[in-house]
A and B are shown apart, each in its own frame.
Chain A
Amino acid sequence: MTDHAADNHPPAAAEDHLTDHNYDGIQEYDNPLPGWWVAIFWGSIIWSFLYFGWYHAGPGRGMLDNYSASMSALDEVREAAADRRLSSYGELKPDQATLLALMADEDLMKSQESVWQVRCVACHLGDGRGLVGPNMTDDAYINVKKIEDIVTLVTDGVIAKGMLPFANQLSEREIIMISAYAASLRGKALDPSIAMPAKAAQGEVIPPWPGQ
């Protein structure tokens, strides 16, 4: 195609040598294999031996090792981010004062939105209006009397009602942060882009969070 592309006269190239084959009028040239074709073919074979040796008999790192490494790296990023965000709160305790303080931290609450999207959105919807899970934006609660009950609820779940225990999916710190986020949804305006009607109040109306 390269050097003969411009040729329009029928015999493509003088140096091409025809074989004596003829099938229903189809003939075949006895052209050699293109050099670059042979080179890449051999190259890919040689590379394959080296690759296999490196990863399956040599020092190459396997799939699961890579996974552990990337998980530890991720954990470090997370720990560092949490340390940074929580530096002013000292050791995080699942108590009322801590939750209230976290709720006031706008930046930290914003950071919890993605956690909410991964873990909570299916049952409580994006703005917390509730679906199979209760409405988080109203004043009525089923298993919560005090704000710190939310932490227990997220940790242990309510299996009979379909609420998942998060103890084995999130760290203690993470549970406290997402609990604060859940509490912060109370009284929030609903997102007008969601068409589902907000879930009717369930349980009992409890007093507002202290100081709010």
Chain B
Amino acid sequence: MTTAPPQEASAPPPQLDRFSYDDAIVRKFLCASVVWGLVGMLVGLIAALQLAAPVFNSLGLSGNWTQIFSFGRLRPLHTNAVIFAFAGNGIFAAIYYSSQRLLKARMFSDRLSKVHFWGWQAIILSAALTLPLGYTQGKEYAELEWPIDIAITVVWVVFAINFFGTLKVRRERHLYVAIWFYIATIIAIAVLHIFNNIPGIAGPLKSYSVYAGSQDAFMQWWYGHNAVAFFLTTPFLGLMYYFLPKAAGRPVFSYKLSILHFWSLVFIYIWAGPHHLHYTAIPEWASTLGMLFSVILWMPSWGGMLNGLLTLRGAWDRVARDPVLKFFVVGVTFYGMSTFEGPLLSIKAVNGLSHYTDWTIAHVHAGALGWVGFMVFGMAYWLMPRLYQTSGMARPKWVDWHFWLATIGILVYVVAIYAAGLTQGLMWRAFDADGMLEYGDFMQTVTVLIPMYWIRVVGGGMYLVGAVLALCNMYLTWKRRPTQYQEKVYQAPPLSPGFSEPDSHIAPRFRPSLNALAVVLIGLGVVLLIPYLGYGGGSPESGRLLLYFGLSSIGFGLLLGLGRTLAFWQSMAWHRRWEARPLRFTVWVVVAVVSASLFEIIPTFAIESNVKTISAVKPYTPLELYGRDIYLAEGCYNCHSQMVRPLHFETERFGEYSKSGEFVYDHPFQWGSRRIGPDLHRVGTRLTSASWHVRHFEDPRITSQTSIMPAYAHLLDEEVPFEVIPSRMRAMKRIGVPYSDDEVDQAAESARAQGRQLEARIKTEVGPEEAGGYSGIGSRKVIALTAYMLRLGTDTQGFAAEAAAPQGTR
């Protein structure tokens, strides 16, 4: 189909606006996306190599440089680069290109566009500098410290003003579905970013999450899950809705499906976050809700896939020839696969197996490389000849090469890593005939994965080579650009103020169903009657069954009502009117996102019984607190969880399962999401030798020959900066940790004292001959980290850790 440019409008009214589109900004964002994408993937490849062979942790460097490139610091750099730099710049390119055309308007302000672009690149650069240096909030995908978070907020607001300003000056009355998805992206990311990153500031580049333990976990995965939803899904669906029909030259399969899957996606996604926290110390109802909403989310997600794939009906012959369409087809197919797998993984029983294993890693890479990557590159190949105003790509053959390298690469990657995930998950839960763990030594479940880690390196490497081809091809195509880009001038009438929707679009009136109302009332009656029937107190079986019946009846009635509502909805005429009113549309998006968030968040914070207080749990000592800061800075949470789930194979291996009350002073929580190494929540009850920890940090291969953990020898040399500890404690005190003023004032001295005590303990442990080697260790960073390790999980276990703590601090 040929495009229908604006000037084709028949019988032009007297005054037509003349305008052009800003493609320079799209060129910038697209170039940034491909370049940063390459950086992010390269860092990913290095991280993959580090897991296959730990020697890559130092990259051949020595001294303090080793720590900068160790896995715990590179992995956040990898995730941030791929998400915020590669995908981020990619969606901005898509939004800036398509929005102008879909709204028949140049961006609201070229200056704001530039501020957005350069601001975003500055944020990426500051991330690339601070993350390897160990400045981190210690929350996955929200690692960046508070000044950068503020910068992100400012740039996002600039972007929002620019975008909504363009909506204001648009010359297209109705908003196309791609624009809906962009609106949802801008609103939801703003809400998520701000509320998950509220800092308790402890210094210029140091802060603690104001939330602690279970609540922090809850906020973090509300954020983390919805970052996937609103940064890696909705903007890419918007991208798909513009570029796929453009490239295929076919109408979109179903407008009604667009509406239904858009709203259901925006509303339902928000609830699904707790599926990242199954079997952890959050309330069980929240975990169940997370699971159920994830399952309900399956079809809304597939709505997007269907509209993508079915738009290609009648164009499949072109798919075989056109590499752009090939990229889109694979991308959308991966989207369908990932959004089926997501609900599957959110089912508690499946999650019990998959959680903390490589299965999750395979899942996100199917999404990030398969869906996000293929959509960005598909778009890039479609855009480049148009942006650089050439007759085509400089090396069309390379595009095919890229496609096949990427497709085979991602398949090799995920197959190996699915196998790794299943293998490790099954090994963790294997018991022998005596009822003992079959693989008692955690290392056994790691070394077996190494061959699969090498296969991952191969698959990821292929994907990276494909991306290199893309960058070279981009450069060669750019070289063929004309000396001066032509800026095409378009004409369109401005929107007339007194618009009203044509009659055929006016919705029929909505009539609620009396039947549905009756069923709800009956159900409600039954539930309210239960106490009067004498079942209130002891809740015997019959009472529970009545309650069950009542609730089902309410649910059924609501469904009936929803059915009627759906019938009304299906006319979709009501929605057509919204599409002409961006403000109303946006308000409803806000309502959908915020209401669903509040439904989940308010009970988590308000109901005290959700976090049961345990009187034995006390705040960390000053030295332990500093040790915990090292734990965060080194990114230990990237490989170690601190959450023993109530599953028999976990408690056998790691000790008593974790309770929410044990984490009330954990700002931020450190439950983790992947166990490349063992769980550490009860490490203080399991590895009580201080000298073991010191030697283990010096070189993990000393204590576990086949360990793939990086060495932290530098911690044995670096002094603890005792003078900063009071400021850290003061920040903690401000966000609710009950330190007394005396404790804060004397923090440095009490930390020194605990360090000396631990040094003495280590000397006792190793005996007089080796004691000399540990002289002065009591003021080194390794002692702080060891103090933290020895404390972990001991408070509730009646555990005699007195030897570790100085009198009076506990």
A118 touches B306 (CB 8 A): no
A24 touches B102 (CB 8 A): yes
Q: How large is the interface on A (under 10, 10 to 19, 20 to 34, 35 or more residues)?
A: 35 or more
Most buried by A among B241, B288, B303, B803: B288
Interface string of B539-580 (1 = CB under 8 A from A): 001001101100110011001000000000010000000000
B657 surroundings in chain A (CB, below 8 A)? 67
B689 touches A160 (CB 8 A): no
Contact of B695 with A by CB under 8 A: yes
A209 surroundings in chain B (CB, below 8 A)? none
Bound CA span A90–B206, Å: 62
Q: A74-B431, A123-B689, A132-B692 are in contact. Are A29 and B255 (CB under 8 A)?
A: yes
Q: A29-B253, A29-B254, A41-B300 are in contact. Are A81 and B433 (CB under 8 A)?
A: yes
A67 touches B646 (CB 8 A): yes
A32 touches B254 (CB 8 A): yes
A53 touches B300 (CB 8 A): no
Q: A50-B552, A70-B647 are in contact. Are A163 and B689 (CB under 8 A)?
A: yes
CB interface residues, A 84-129, toward B, < 8 Å: 85, 111, 114-119, 121-123, 126
Contact of A35 with B by CB under 8 A: no
Q: Which residue of A lies closest to B436 (CB)?
A: A114
In the complex, what's the smallest C-beta–C-beta distance from B802 to chain A, in angstroms? 9
Q: Which residue of A lies closest to B297 (CB)?
A: A44
B803 touches A29 (CB 8 A): no
Bound CA span A29–B767, Å: 81
A71 touches B651 (CB 8 A): yes
Contact of A22 with B by CB under 8 A: yes
CB interface residues, A 111-170, toward B, < 8 Å: 111, 114-119, 121-123, 126, 131-133, 157, 159-164, 168-169
Contact among A10, A26, A57 for B547, CB-based, below 8 A: A57
A7 touches B174 (CB 8 A): no
Bound CA span A32–B571, Å: 10
Stretch at the interface among B1-9, B626-634, B635-643: B1-9
Interface string of A20-35 (1 = CB under 8 A from B): 0111111111111110
Q: A26-B246, A132-B691 are in contact. Are A118 and B302 (CB under 8 A)?
A: no
Contact of A192 with B by CB under 8 A: no
Most buried by A among B279, B300, B314: B314
Bound CA span A185–B776, Å: 36
Most buried by A among B255, B300, B702, B797: B255
Most buried by B among A10, A11, A50, A131: A131
Q: Which residue of B lies closest to A200 (CB)?
A: B769
B296 touches A44 (CB 8 A): yes
A117 touches B441 (CB 8 A): yes
B434 touches A23 (CB 8 A): no
A22 touches B4 (CB 8 A): yes
Contact of A77 with B by CB under 8 A: yes
Could you list 12 further interchain pairs (A-B, Cβ under 8 angstroms) beyond the known A23-B172, A48-B295?
A10-B1, A24-B242, A25-B3, A34-B257, A62-B284, A63-B287, A74-B431, A82-B434, A118-B440, A122-B704, A161-B765, A168-B798
A-B contact pairs, 10 of them (CB 8 A): A5-B313, A12-B250, A24-B242, A37-B303, A40-B298, A49-B551, A52-B289, A56-B285, A159-B803, A160-B761
A residues near B (Cβ < 8 Å) are: 1, 4-5, 7-13, 16, 18-19, 21-34, 37, 40-42, 44-59, 62-64, 67, 70-71, 74-75, 77-78, 81-82, 85, 111, 114-119, 121-123, 126, 131-133, 157, 159-164, 168-169, 194-196, 202
